[in-house]
A and B are shown apart, each in its own frame.
Chain A
């Protein structure tokens, strides 16, 4: 009887422990959202998201941070497109063309893991070095280059994860019907497209929030860039600069910018989940 009793206590203990850990995560999410929401809503107004910073914006006078919203969307949008163009072929090559035991695939995955682990400030420094070498100044282009570098390993890793365990029987089934590799690839796309879409949105969500990499490369400006060679503001830096201000109103505006950033990430995450559930109906 004692054994059963002690087993029961053990079971209960670990169950409570797991529940507590889960609750802790929930509490964390709620407190982050609450902080951003409560402080951000004080400064949040229609002007904030539709106007550029006016004179004296940074000491609490009128204006908004539309420059940062547009800059962030420009940079992340362009980087995501370029990043996809490079990542998708890599993921296909790794998973469809190369054998599972391939050394090249192993080496490539190791390289992407290393790149994935490189801190974003290092990408920023690397991008800065490239810009100096090319004679570029802080600009939209610089930001796009660095965020593209940052986003590629994230793309590849998450897509690889989504693609890796697709049933290889599909290849045989398609080949056995007389399909070529290219035709078979189209079938594979149908199977893994939802995974790729989700991976894309989640990666974009991560990249849009990165401040360190754009600090020296995209720079900051109060206007919306009209060409690739002009500097561009971004939301993470808008948060950073305004939070460093001694004026409480300006600090609240930092939280308003953080709120917008959080909302964008939230929309991307929900979009990712929606795509997964909506388009994976044919998936095996």
Chain B
């Protein structure tokens, strides 16, 4: 039991965005959150690393247990929490610095390596892990903004991995990418689940079908159905899920 959410309610100003969410996210598997736009998928994801805090007028109720510790209401541990939970967002957002510095950034602020050698090794390792090393070796000092969009997204993933998180949250991480890059990133996630617990918000059902171990279907801020992928896709219990999967609405 890696992340456990108990009776979570999220209000943003007057809107009740997440309603009584109860969810368990199992360790070292890929959990895909699906549902129509505006159903609260991203809000749920952003609650798990408290990035939701930067939204204006937000109010959280309930419990989100990460490794047994409630992260709601504990102000002090937020930066440490975020280090343990990596985030890959929809559009790649490299920091305004070189490729090397992008990956090294998290390590530096978290003071992970005393020696430069360790840092260089870590950058290399993580660029290799996302399959970017062969493409950028020899130009790691050039600005990250010069990479293609697909490469930037993998760089962002490498940057997240560099701070040695336990969890990776991906918010439609492939939706801005071309099909080839999208496939590369998708395959990466599958490879990474050996070591990481992955929570992914996705818009494409096919993607969820391909890579999910568990599926969570949300609608209007509520979890309609959650369970192993095979069960949710092939034998949905709820009428709403069946309709969504068969394309009655999207």
Binding site for A on B (CB under 8 A): 49, 51, 54, 56, 79-80, 82-83, 85-87, 89, 91, 93-98, 105-106, 109-110, 143-145, 156, 159-160, 163
Contacts and interface: CB of A to CB of B under 8 A. Distances in A.
B86 A173 contact: no
A32 interface: no
Contacts, number: 81
A177 B101 CA distance: 13
A129 to B, nearest CB: 41
A175 B54 contact: yes
Contact of B95 (A101, A170, A178): A170
A183 B56 CA distance: 21
Interface string A234-274: 00000000000000000000000000000000000000000
A10 interface: no
B109 A282 contact: no
A176 B159 CA distance: 10
Given A99-B56, A171-B54, A284-B145, A178 B110 contact: yes
Interface residues of A, number: 23
Contact of B82 (A167, A177, A190): A177
Contacts of B79: 178-180
Interface string A147-178: 00000000000000000000101111111111
A234 to B, nearest CB: 39
A176 B89 CA distance: 10
Contacts of B54: 171-172, 175
7 contacts: A172-B87, A173-B159, A175-B54, A178-B109, A178-B163, A284-B93, A284-B94
A283 interface: yes
B160 A177 contact: yes
A180 B96 CA distance: 17
